[in-house]
Chain A
Amino acid sequence: MSTHSEITPEAIARHGLTKDEFAEIVRRLGREPNYVELGVFSVMWSEHCAYKSSRAHFHLFPTTGPTVILGPGENAGVVDIGKDKDGNTWGAAFKMESHNHPSFIEPYQGAATGVGGILRDVFTMGARTVACMDALRFGEATHPKTKSLVAGVVHGIGGYGNCMGVPTIGGNCGFDPCYNGNILVNAFALGIVRKDRIFKGTASGVGNPVLYVGSATGRDGIHGATMASAVFDDDSQAKRPTVQVGDPFTEKLLLEACLEIMTHDWLVGIQDMGAAGLTSSSFEMASRAGAGMDMDLDCVPQRATGMVPYEMLLSESQERMLMVAKKGHEDDVLAVCKKWGLEAAVIGKVTDSGRMRCSWQGHIVVDVPINAVVDDCPRYDRPRQEPADLDARRALDLDSIADQPLAADLVRLLGRPDIASKRWIWQQYDHTVRTSTQVLPGAADAAVLLVRENGARLAMSADCTERYGHADPWACGAHAVAEAVRNIACVGAEPLGLTDCLNFGNPEIPEVMWAIREAMRGLGDAAKALDCPVVSGNVSLYNTTGDQSILPTPMVAAVGRLPDGVEPVRMGFVEAGDAIYLLGRFRPSLGASRWLQEYLGHHQGRVSAVDLDAEKAVSSLVRLLIAQGVARSAHDLADGGLAVALAECAIQAQGGPRGVRCAMPSPQDSGTARHDERLFGETGASILVSVRSSQRSEIEALAADVGVPANYLGEVGDLNAAFEIGSLHAPTADLADAYHNGFERSVLGGAQ
């Protein structure tokens, strides 16, 4: 391949560009692009980099608010987490990003480099990375590929994050046949940065040097962004060479070197070379500053011999940064890189030409206007079509199902890998390094992290119930936000902001595009209603294998802060005799529920209606109860409904599993007379708390003050006493066994 390879219709198609897009490139350049330039346009106009199908709908998201320091548009968003004792304001920088396609092809490296990429996005901002979470979706537990994919992905995430010394403190993991051929790996990272020391990806100041720092460029990952923007087919395994290989040790060096460089006043801007590598970082930095850039590709550190400009510009080799330094400080930057044993080189300079000019072996190989590539890339408001079978998807006839919920149903649900303890996963992640993890994975609805810089305590949770998207993608998006906000409220935290990772199928299918917009609308509506602005995010489309698109999976990660002096609670009950209350608007529905999926073997019906006012009210109430020290435990209702939530509180009780003696909520308090629906139906806006029996009047008064239903269900029992709700009785030990060992049994084929 060289600059002289012919531009044929096949070459254009291979680059994922349409005829119209190619014509537009010719129009903008006033000539045909050469082969290198075609590659540049190809990656920069890929769905992954340009958001060309989704950007038209970003206005649905609230992105501003009193907590927002930096909204979407940079490498990560930043929210205000308060001041330190010297009066400096600190921020939490965070983002979530997908690495779905690479992880399916090569689970260990795909997942590992997903973690590496998101960590770089965050420390690029000048933030010390302090926490990771990972949201995973796999195919059916019984699918022949699932076991090795789970093992490889978890191993890869651990392999990278553990070496970096960043604790992985939360996440989620689900299983559905729709992911059989297209798993999801969504990686979240959060860092802490002083507000006046936030760095941005900008290349301003004519004459300022452009520096390349980190691993040398190899031939790995070329066209990774383009691959991430295409439908999977039977040949996908042949794309293994487009998966990058991670080197967490070099990333650790890069992290420390960057943060050391950033303590000085040497840099104008910095951006990681992620998807589309040197191309996206250089074009985007120049674009943000309205500047131009000249780069000498002969100066780029290279791992392989004989590399050509096309490869250097499109490589997605990992652990690389592009920096623009203040003129005269290039040697200072290079000296720090040398200390940390990193390759670094000056490879260009900022110009006022508005063009990107790359030279190689004495020739100009790229010469294009930057805004022609970045600012005005094609955007599509793609056709949307409500699915013709939507009414059929929503239909639900429960009359044919006998209303006879059994203890065995509860045991079966608790043992499902989606619901069972994910201990097998998080024990492979270092979650206590940095000695800041106050609430450990699995112990509460959200993880809680101490921020040493200013004493703040941050809660975070990642959520999405994709089942809800089958018949109601709006509700799926809204529920994801509501659940994330509820989860952080269950440890006592106020929301500060959220990041999202929008995973969908092929946007060129109108029914999929309809679901994308509906889910985004739901996400935006809930974010507005719950005062949780969207500060960063990522879109992953074309999660389609053959003709199977995944369920809409708008993954949401919310970050909140505990008020000073408030101690977080966990989900487990505390003491025998404590009173158990169900707070909020309890309107369970078997539609789209986990129980119904187990019963029918497919998705059917519509999720319980979303009530954002009720969500806001119940989250406020639980925060108040925690702040006042009334609530001793808190856990929201989610997968599996009331019975599963209650069982989880009992299984996770302090000192070991405890029994419960609870009455069934009445039909009037539930909106349904069916026993199975009250036990296993799913609903938003509902939280279980426990309080000392002496504080029953207090909780009832506090709930009445804010008009939130507080339904007394019963009391916590002794260690290993029976689990009883209404007429459903089960030995607690059976429930605990299913919950603790269900994941290994169903996914890995046996208790470990």
Chain B
Amino acid sequence: MRVAVLQFPGSNCDDDCMQAFGRVLGCEASLVWHGETSLPAGTDLVVLPGGFSYGDYLRCGAIAAHSPVMSATKRFAERGGTVFGICNGFQVLTEARLLPGALLRNAGLAFVCKDVALRVESQHSDLTARVAPGSQLVMPIAHMEGNYFADAATLDAMEARGQIVLRYVDRATGEPAQTANPNGACRNIAGVANERGNVIGMMPHPERAVEDVLGGTDGLALLAALVAQVSARAA
């Protein structure tokens, strides 16, 4: 299982993703510089890590979407390869039009770093195909622009196709609630997939919840399910 972790100059979760996919999950993980025009041969999974890609003084991910490595990533996705964006990686994927919608500034207008509870909404993605719908997972968020937006018609269509894969929920009730929505995202959306289910983006950081010493392993369960799904298809 070969994982390519894209490295933009302002990526700052690249090393965390290398640790999670490499050290913890045992994948063959390598960093791929943003200036590369192709992905390493035999890449099974492309991961876009969190951070500030090119500083993000413009819209988050707007410049990264036009980087050489993203052209290669688009071709990879078109061929059915699995592409997974976390936080800034999610922002880059929406800017690159690999995922629908946009990530706006948080409703509270402030950066938010805290643990949130998520519910798996659909198995229509390589990330969630092997996770039971309704499963609740706890992991951190850390972002300023995580307020997912798409128009109602788009959201309805996405819901119908199962493209809404993760929602913020109340820990006690397990249901989406306004009070459990950390950033004002439409319909409490925390993660989405494309129609084909091979491109996935999520704002929370599963790579930060992969060891008990860090307070939980719910992120590991999610990433392990992703790796298992991609491996099975590669085999």
Enumerate chain A interface residues (CB-CB to B < 8 A).
155, 158-159, 162-165, 247-250, 252-253, 256, 340-341, 426-438, 440, 450, 452, 752
Residue of B with least CB distance to A128: B15
Tell whether, in the assembled complex, residue B52 and residue A437 are in contact, meaning their CB atoms are under 8 Å apart: no
- In the assembled complex, the CB of B26 is this many whole angstroms from the nearest CB of chain A, namely 17
Chain B contacts of A450 at CB under 8 A?
213
Q: How far is the CA of A220 from the CA of B110 in the complex (A)?
A: 27
Chain B contacts of A252 at CB under 8 A?
9-10, 12, 52
Q: How far is the CA of A256 from the CA of B55 in the complex (A)?
A: 14
- In the assembled complex, the CB of B146 is this many whole angstroms from the nearest CB of chain A, namely 13
- B195-213 residues with Cβ-Cβ distance < 8 A to A are 205, 207-208, 210-211, 213
Can you spell out 28 A-B residue pairs with CB atoms less than 8 angstroms apart? A158-B110, A162-B142, A162-B144, A163-B10, A163-B52, A163-B55, A164-B12, A249-B9, A249-B52, A249-B54, A250-B55, A341-B9, A427-B114, A428-B110, A428-B111, A428-B112, A428-B113, A429-B111, A432-B142, A432-B205, A433-B16, A434-B15, A435-B16, A435-B19, A435-B207, A438-B215, A440-B215, A450-B213
B153 contacts A by Cβ under 8 Å: no
Beyond the given A252-B9, A253-B10, A427-B114, could you list 17 further A-B residue pairs with CB under 8 A, ordered by the A residue number? A155-B110, A163-B52, A163-B56, A248-B55, A256-B9, A426-B113, A428-B111, A429-B113, A430-B142, A432-B113, A432-B208, A433-B12, A433-B208, A435-B16, A435-B20, A435-B210, A435-B214
Tell whether, in the assembled complex, residue B52 and residue A433 are in contact, meaning their CB atoms are under 8 Å apart: no
With A432-B142, A437-B214, A440-B215 as given contacts, are A165 and B12 in contact (CB-CB < 8 Å)? Answer: yes
Q: How far is the CA of A427 from the CA of B111 in the complex (A)?
A: 7
Chain A contacts of B12 at CB under 8 A?
163-165, 252, 433
- Write the B2-23 contact mask toward A (1 if CB under 8 angstroms, else 0): 0000000110110110011000
Residue of B with least CB distance to A168: B113
Tell whether, in the assembled complex, residue B16 and residue A434 are in contact, meaning their CB atoms are under 8 Å apart: yes
- In the assembled complex, the CB of A540 is this many whole angstroms from the nearest CB of chain B, namely 27
Tell whether, in the assembled complex, residue B10 and residue A432 are in contact, meaning their CB atoms are under 8 Å apart: no
With A162-B111, A428-B110 as given contacts, are A433 and B142 in contact (CB-CB < 8 Å)? Answer: yes
B51 contacts A by Cβ under 8 Å: yes
Q: How far is the CA of A587 from the CA of B55 in the complex (A)?
A: 53
Tell whether, in the assembled complex, residue A249 and residue B55 are in contact, meaning their CB atoms are under 8 Å apart: yes
Residue among B110, B113, B208 facing the most chain A CB atoms (10 A cut-off): B113
Q: Which of A158, A162, A340 meets B9, CB within 8 Å?
A: A340
With A155-B110, A427-B113, A450-B213 as given contacts, are A433 and B13 in contact (CB-CB < 8 Å)? Answer: yes
Tell whether, in the assembled complex, residue B215 and residue A249 are in contact, meaning their CB atoms are under 8 Å apart: no
Tell whether, in the assembled complex, residue A158 and residue B16 are in contact, meaning their CB atoms are under 8 Å apart: no
Tell whether, in the assembled complex, residue B113 and residue A249 are in contact, meaning their CB atoms are under 8 Å apart: no
Residue of A with least CB distance to B11: A165
- B169-195 residues with Cβ-Cβ distance < 8 A to A are none
Per CB-CB distance, the 9 closest pairs between chain A and chain B, nearest first, are A165-B12, A249-B55, A430-B142, A432-B140, A435-B16, A163-B52, A428-B111, A158-B111, A432-B208
Q: How far is the CA of A738 from the CA of B208 in the complex (A)?
A: 31
Chain A contacts of B144 at CB under 8 A?
162
Residue of A with least CB distance to B139: A432
Q: How far is the CA of A588 from the CA of B213 in the complex (A)?
A: 37
Tally A-B pairs: CB < 8 A: 83
- B17-75 residues with Cβ-Cβ distance < 8 A to A are 19-20, 50-52, 54-57
Q: Which of B19, B20, B113, B213 meets A430, CB within 8 Å?
A: B113
Chain A contacts of B20 at CB under 8 A?
435
- In the assembled complex, the CB of A157 is this many whole angstroms from the nearest CB of chain B, namely 10
Q: How far is the CA of A189 from the CA of B210 in the complex (A)?
A: 26
- In the assembled complex, the CB of A252 is this many whole angstroms from the nearest CB of chain B, namely 5
Chain A contacts of B51 at CB under 8 A?
165
Q: How far is the CA of A452 from the CA of B51 in the complex (A)?
A: 20
- Write the B98-117 contact mask toward A (1 if CB under 8 angstroms, else 0): 00000000001011111000
Q: Which of A249, A431, A433, A435 meets B57, CB within 8 Å?
A: A249
Chain B contacts of A164 at CB under 8 A?
12
Chain A contacts of B113 at CB under 8 A?
426-432
- Write the B134-162 contact mask toward A (1 if CB under 8 angstroms, else 0): 00000010101000000000000000000
Q: How far is the CA of A651 from the CA of B9 in the complex (A)?
A: 42
Chain B contacts of A165 at CB under 8 A?
12-13, 51
Tell whether, in the assembled complex, residue B54 and residue A427 are in contact, meaning their CB atoms are under 8 Å apart: no
Residue among A253, A432, A752 facing the most chain B CB atoms (10 A cut-off): A432
Residue of A with least CB distance to B35: A339
Chain B contacts of A440 at CB under 8 A?
215
- In the assembled complex, the CB of A214 is this many whole angstroms from the nearest CB of chain B, namely 14
Q: How far is the CA of A198 from the CA of B40 in the complex (A)?
A: 34
Chain A contacts of B140 at CB under 8 A?
432
Chain A contacts of B208 at CB under 8 A?
432-433, 435
Q: How far is the CA of A431 from the CA of B215 in the complex (A)?
A: 13
- In the assembled complex, the CB of A133 is this many whole angstroms from the nearest CB of chain B, namely 15
Q: How far is the CA of A164 from the CA of B20 in the complex (A)?
A: 20
Residue of A with least CB distance to B19: A435
Chain A contacts of B213 at CB under 8 A?
438, 450
Chain B contacts of A438 at CB under 8 A?
213-215
Q: How far is the CA of A426 from the CA of B211 in the complex (A)?
A: 22
Residue among A155, A164, A249, A426 facing the most chain B CB atoms (10 A cut-off): A249
Residue of A with least CB distance to B113: A430
Residue of A with least CB distance to B211: A435
Q: How far is the CA of A431 from the CA of B55 in the complex (A)?
A: 19
- In the assembled complex, the CB of B181 is this many whole angstroms from the nearest CB of chain A, namely 14
Q: Which of A159, A248, A427, A452 meets B112, CB within 8 Å?
A: A427
- In the assembled complex, the CB of A257 is this many whole angstroms from the nearest CB of chain B, namely 10
Residue of A with least CB distance to B16: A435
Chain B contacts of A249 at CB under 8 A?
9-10, 52, 54-57
Chain A contacts of B111 at CB under 8 A?
158-159, 162, 427-430
Chain A contacts of B56 at CB under 8 A?
163, 249
Q: How far is the CA of A339 from the CA of B156 in the complex (A)?
A: 44
Chain B contacts of A752 at CB under 8 A?
108
- In the assembled complex, the CB of A37 is this many whole angstroms from the nearest CB of chain B, namely 37
Chain B contacts of A430 at CB under 8 A?
111, 113, 142
Residue of B with least CB distance to A159: B111
- In the assembled complex, the CB of B205 is this many whole angstroms from the nearest CB of chain A, namely 7
- In the assembled complex, the CB of A189 is this many whole angstroms from the nearest CB of chain B, namely 15
Q: How far is the CA of A159 from the CA of B20 in the complex (A)?
A: 26
- In the assembled complex, the CB of B96 is this many whole angstroms from the nearest CB of chain A, namely 20
Q: How far is the CA of A583 from the CA of B10 in the complex (A)?
A: 48
Q: How far is the CA of A440 from the CA of B110 in the complex (A)?
A: 19
- In the assembled complex, the CB of A336 is this many whole angstroms from the nearest CB of chain B, namely 13
Chain B contacts of A247 at CB under 8 A?
55
Residue of B with least CB distance to A164: B12
Residue among B15, B50, B111 facing the most chain A CB atoms (10 A cut-off): B111
Chain B contacts of A163 at CB under 8 A?
10, 12, 52, 55-56
- In the assembled complex, the CB of B40 is this many whole angstroms from the nearest CB of chain A, namely 19
Chain B contacts of A435 at CB under 8 A?
16, 19-20, 207-208, 210-211, 214
Q: How far is the CA of A252 from the CA of B52 in the complex (A)?
A: 10
- In the assembled complex, the CB of A504 is this many whole angstroms from the nearest CB of chain B, namely 33
Residue among B51, B54, B211 facing the most chain A CB atoms (10 A cut-off): B51
Residue of A with least CB distance to B182: A427
- In the assembled complex, the CB of A407 is this many whole angstroms from the nearest CB of chain B, namely 28
